[in-house]
Structure 1
């Protein structure tokens, strides 16, 4: 079963310096039908004005993933990490027993666009952690996050994987799924056709359940890029 989540149906908040679209309930946006999916709790599609950002604030017991789509994030946290996150790099911050951080647009002239993703962990407390890595722009599937950090992936405190999918020269591919698991696809660029002709465009998401394979076909002239969440 595939349940489509259109981009225009997401929650929306505009604070002037921040324009954000919420795939799931977040902040002042509440929809009892959109409280997350398995352990995937938040996908926020954020645009931050130049020289603006999120002042220092705290998190606890959450795995927080950021992916920059345009611009650069200036990151600073209470564990002593002072980093910049450019386009295409993935950041995974494990809040653990508690961490404070700030996220700012590193540019004084250009907007910052990024996805912020929250995963509920399977263990509470512990020492906060920080990971950051680029995984390139290879065709097909690239595993970015796993529970055990295999093959150089970032390590998350949950039974889940995050896979990057890019289709450009190749036009279609298939992910071997498990009917007992849950999958979520978030499209970043282009358009994809899924099983049964379901069309997923940039900004759209889709919940996928009860399938032993997921077929992806690029149907746009430009390349298609998406995130595939493999969830318990």
Structure 2
């Protein structure tokens, strides 16, 4: 029995290693959207059996980072440009609601955590590593969501942030190439101060503007790199 337990433990460790590596490569776009993920090839790459590879892919599928096709092959999930307007609409609602709740319900302990996450984001920006930047950005916004004390909204928001990390990578790339250097840090500070002041309306307005800035830069990136005919309607104005 002990050998069986040890075998499961080792396999679990192997699966986690594969999962962590592939997840980072997908989010960083090292593995591009649509890339075939062949179990045999991955097993050779990681020098392990196909079982932990399969387990890692199932976990990634649960996060919608990979897709299993009808022929049972697995690919890196495409970035669905056509669905971006619906995605950013949902992101806007979730971001505004969680930020409003945080401004209403935050505690002093919450404020310390949000401020800490913002410092971590600033440090990540200085590294210039997009994966670190997108993860730190997610953790900042999730700290706000947790301060709102609604686990259902926080969970929905986290799912949207996870889905948007690859798009945020492109957003960062666009800003850096344009020499703008404006990477959300000022907006983060303003959001923190609005939450600290319990200014619900201002927090809502800033959260909306934050989403709109992401939307505008991502669309500009698409137009610059892929087509001159990308057209999305603007987000509704903040109320």
Larger fraction in helix:
2
Length-normalised TM-score, structure 1: 0.24
Of the two, which has the highest radius of gyration? 2
TM-score normalised to structure 2 length: 0.24
